[in-house]
Structure 1
Amino acid sequence: MTATLAQLAQRPLSSAEMRTAMEQIMSGEAPVQDVSDFLRTLAVRGETDKEIAGAVRSLWEHQVGSLEFASPRPELCDTCGTGGDGQGTFNISTLAAIVAAACGVRIAKHGNRAASSRCGSADLLEALGMNLAATPQQIVRSVETVGFGFYFAPRFHPAMKAVAEVRKALGIPTIFNLIGPLANPAYPLTFQFVGVADERRRWPMAQALQRLSIRHGLVVHGADGLDEVTTTGETRVAEIGSPSKRPINSLSPGEYGLPRATSEQLRGGDVAANAAIARNVLSNEATPQQRDIVVLNAGCVIYTANQAKDIQEGIQKAVDALESGRAQTVLERAVEISRS
């Protein structure tokens, strides 16, 4: 690890060098202080796309459990954010994923319990009835038949435990906050929708998606700091694999006929509060502001997965999925399969 730290002080690491460093870290071979220095140096300087992609591949190499899909393999999509935005919103991307699944997107949702927030995607889905201990076969069946399955990160990536204490002691976002959303156990994915809390990470993450062979991806950062597409103002976007000659660089709710919300109107709470909001959203009984941000994000996911020609069409499909009850049915069936 000493040699790697010396290299890192001089230049960015190649993808292969990052994989070697990650092997030492996740196997427990590297001294704790070296790991801390390594993560801090990367975070302060800013991780490159090569470093991010190399770290993701290393995490896949340490993955426990395989996921066998029927042939031909479905084109899978994930929606995940880096977290750490400190905004205290409800679980927007998880609900957007469920709505998108009701519109024909095959969602392989990867997530965890809360770290810096009060309610992570795993906490929410568990409160809504999902069995987090579902077998890989059950999850695959759910994705293939319902369009939505949930992969509980600790079950597939136990090697992440090796850095848990170091990350906690550092108290800052590290490269592990970036690779978590990209290291989906159902790899390779075809589409990916990612939110980043740090605007500096927007393009490196998008370029990492390219290196990981994502066909069409959006990386978004709300100007208010959200790691989602926000409805309080502008969202900055990095798009790779755009079907258009003009990739999306930014978007705002007004472009799609949606009024602006305040941050307070998007606020969530603890697990019980966020589960109540989720039930209201899926039963089409949420506040207009809660509904708007979910359909806007779902519309972006539907567009990312090439199930809509543009975001506007994606939003229209998302609205229909809520009003028809299809989104609620997706969750109910996914929960049932996870417990069967």
Structure 2
Amino acid sequence: MKSLLTQLYAREPLSRSAAYEMLSRVGNGAASDMEIAAVVSAINMRPNVLSEIQGFRDAMLELAHPIDLGGLETIDIVGTGGDGKDTFNVSTLSSFVVAGAGYPVTKHGSYGVSSSVGSSDVLVALGVNFTNNQSQLLATLDRAGICFFHAPLFHPAMKNVVPVRKGLKVRSFFNLLGPLLNPARPAYSLLGTYDRQVARVYDYILQDAPRQAYTIVHALDGYDEISLTGPAAVRSRTGSTILEPGDFGFDRLAQRDLYGGSTAEAGKKIFLSVLDNTATIAQRNVVCANAGLAIRTIHPERSLTDCVAEAAESLASGNARGVLKRLL
């Protein structure tokens, strides 16, 4: 570990194999908290390196608890977090809306570390129980159209990292890795990033998974999702573009419209209000925009506005609310 840390502090990029070795040591408990903090700090002080992210991802997926979907094609809607915006749980809500529209969702997420309330925090507040038992998860997916992969149960390597991340309370490369680590390797992914350069890294990595269709989003004002507060850069296997709020059929929002509060109970209140169709127009619109883009990831031949309309119908009809009821 000493030689790898020396290389990092000299700002020399790690090869994919060296990065794999480093994170394998961390995951296997062979690195101290001080060494883990040193790794996080050294990597935070310079731009992301593709070979390092690839190697870190290789190690994490190798150590992960596997899930076999038996060929079922699902979608994950997930962001890096770490954008510092304190929005409500847009990606998690979008997942329920997409499931309500009839598309199976395998959602990967965890507790908030660099943000106030993560997807796991709000789901616990709603009464969701987590498991990594494959038969139970597949039964839940069949019944509710969604199941949740709580990252600590699927990535035991992270138990060695969580105390350090909570102590540092800063965004790290683990934020970047999270959306790339869904243990089910879903056929479709909508991934949000806090940084445009991170979006490019994702694009390079996912190009090597030819069977996976993906959309990568970075709002130009810093959100790791479609925020409708301004334009967003969007990438897929077929190219890149800039989407404005009007492309979704919506007006531009203000940042205050998306505030989610600082507690899981506040997040739960907004979550239920969206599903119960009592939320603000802004909250409803931003969820429909992200859910619509997720549906378009599955059906790229369809117009974005048609996909957004399908998402809106999932909410208005109560189908998205029914997903939560069946999940619980």
Question: Please, what TM-score do these two structures have when normalized by structure 2?
Answer: 0.91
The CA RMSD measured in Å over matched residues stands at 2.1
Q: CA 1:61–1:312 in structure 2 vs 1: closer, same or farther (change >3 Å)?
A: same
Within the candidate set 237, 255, 259, 2:247 is matched to 255
Q: Which moved more, 1:288-297 or 1:164-173?
A: 164-173
Q: Name 1:203's counterpart in structure 2.
A: 200
Q: In the aligned structure 2, how far is the partner of 1:185 from the partner of 1:323? A: 32
Q: In the aligned structure 2, how far is the partner of 1:172 from the partner of 1:268? A: 19
Q: In the aligned structure 2, how far is the partner of 1:332 from the partner of 1:131? A: 13
Where 1:249 maps in the other structure, the secondary structure is: strand
Q: Is the Cα contact below 8 Å between 1:147 and 1:330 reproduced in 2?
A: yes
Q: In the aligned structure 1, how far is the partner of 2:290 from the partner of 2:270? A: 16
Where 2:161 maps in the other structure, the secondary structure is: helix
Q: In the aligned structure 2, how far is the partner of 1:134 from the partner of 1:171? A: 27
Tell me by how many angstroms 1:32 deviates.
Answer: 4.3
Residues 266-294 of structure 1, C-alpha deviation per residue, up to 9 Å, x if partnerless?
Answer: 11112222212111211222111001000
Q: Name 1:331's counterpart in structure 2.
A: 324
Q: CA 1:271–1:308 in structure 2 vs 1: closer, same or farther (change >3 Å)?
A: farther
Within the candidate set 116, 141, 144, 2:142 is matched to 144
Q: In the aligned structure 1, how far is the partner of 2:16 from the partner of 2:299? A: 29
The code of the aligned residue for 1:141 comes to A
Question: Please, what TM-score do these two structures have when normalized by structure 1?
Answer: 0.88
Q: Is the Cα contact below 8 Å between 2:217 and 2:225 reproduced in 1?
A: yes
Where 1:45 maps in the other structure, the secondary structure is: coil
Within the candidate set 288, 310, 315, 2:281 is matched to 288
Tell me by how many angstroms 1:236 deviates.
Answer: 1.7
Tell me by how many angstroms 1:33 deviates.
Answer: 4.2
Q: In the aligned structure 2, how far is the partner of 1:14 from the partner of 1:144? A: 41
Q: Name 1:41's counterpart in structure 2.
A: 42
Unaligned runs of 5+ in 2: none
Q: Which moved more, 1:292-301 or 1:222-231?
A: 222-231
Q: CA 1:308–1:326 in structure 2 vs 1: closer, same or farther (change >3 Å)?
A: farther
The code of the aligned residue for 1:24 comes to R
Q: Is the Cα contact below 8 Å between 2:114 and 2:171 reproduced in 1?
A: no
Q: CA 1:214–1:280 in structure 2 vs 1: closer, same or farther (change >3 Å)?
A: farther
Q: In the aligned structure 2, how far is the partner of 1:222 from the partner of 1:28? A: 37
Unaligned runs of 5+ in 1: 336-340
How many pairs are equivalent?
Answer: 326
Q: Which moved more, 1:307-316 or 1:74-83?
A: 307-316
Q: In the aligned structure 2, how far is the partner of 1:202 from the partner of 1:317? A: 27
Q: Name 1:114's counterpart in structure 2.
A: 112
The code of the aligned residue for 2:257 comes to Q
Q: In the aligned structure 2, how far is the partner of 1:267 from the partner of 1:6? A: 41
Q: Which moved more, 1:171-180 or 1:254-263?
A: 171-180
Q: Is the Cα contact below 8 Å between 1:80 and 1:195 reproduced in 2?
A: yes
Alignment of 1:1-340 (within 5 A): 1-8=1-8, 9=10, 11-64=12-65, 66-70=66-70, 73-133=71-131, 135-186=133-184, 188-213=185-210, 215-239=212-236, 241-242=237-238, 247-269=239-261, 270-306=263-299, 309-335=302-328
Q: In the aligned structure 2, how far is the partner of 1:24 from the partner of 1:315? A: 44
Identity across matched positions, percent: 35
Residues 301-330 of structure 1, C-alpha deviation per residue, up to 9 Å, x if partnerless?
Answer: 111123762322210110111111111111
Q: In the aligned structure 2, how far is the partner of 1:308 from the partner of 1:322? A: 23
Q: In the aligned structure 2, how far is the partner of 1:102 from the partner of 1:168? A: 34
Q: Is the Cα contact below 8 Å between 1:104 and 1:307 reproduced in 2?
A: no
Q: Is the Cα contact below 8 Å between 1:15 and 1:51 reproduced in 2?
A: yes
Where 1:220 maps in the other structure, the secondary structure is: strand
The code of the aligned residue for 1:311 comes to L
Q: CA 1:46–1:280 in structure 2 vs 1: closer, same or farther (change >3 Å)?
A: same
Q: In the aligned structure 1, how far is the partner of 2:255 from the partner of 2:62? A: 40
Tell me by how many angstroms 1:233 deviates.
Answer: 0.8
